[in-house]
A and B are shown apart, each in its own frame.
Chain A
Amino acid sequence: MSKAANGRVRTWITRESLDDFAQFEDIVREIGSVEDGALLFFQGRVRRTNRGRAVSRLAYDAYGEMAERELSAICHEALERFDVGSVAAAHRVGDLGLGEVSVAIAVTSAHRDDGYRASRWIIETIKVRLPIWKHEHYEDGESHWVGAPAMEAEAPAGAARFE
Chain B
Amino acid sequence: MDRISVRTLFFGVYGELAARREGSAELAADSTVGDLVETLRGPGGLDWLPERVVVAVNHSYAEAGTTLSDGDEVALIPPVAGG
A residues with a Cβ closer than 8 A to B are 44, 60-63, 65-67, 69, 91, 102-103, 123, 126-135, 145-149, 152, 160, 163
Contacts and interface: CB of A to CB of B under 8 A. Distances in A.
B40 interface: no
Contacts of A145: 12-13, 16, 78, 81
Interface in B10-66: 11-13, 15-16, 56, 59-61
A130 B82 contact: yes
Describe B's contact surface by its main secondary structure.
Answer: mixed
A135 B12 CA distance: 8
Residue with the greatest number of chain A CB neighbours at <10 A, chosen from B60, B61, B79, B81: B81
B75 A147 contact: no
B81 A134 contact: yes
A163 B81 CA distance: 11
B59 A128 contact: no
26 contacts: A44-B83, A61-B11, A61-B15, A63-B56, A63-B75, A66-B60, A69-B60, A126-B83, A127-B83, A128-B80, A129-B80, A131-B11, A131-B82, A132-B81, A132-B82, A133-B11, A133-B78, A133-B80, A134-B82, A135-B12, A145-B12, A146-B81, A147-B78, A148-B79, A149-B13, A152-B79
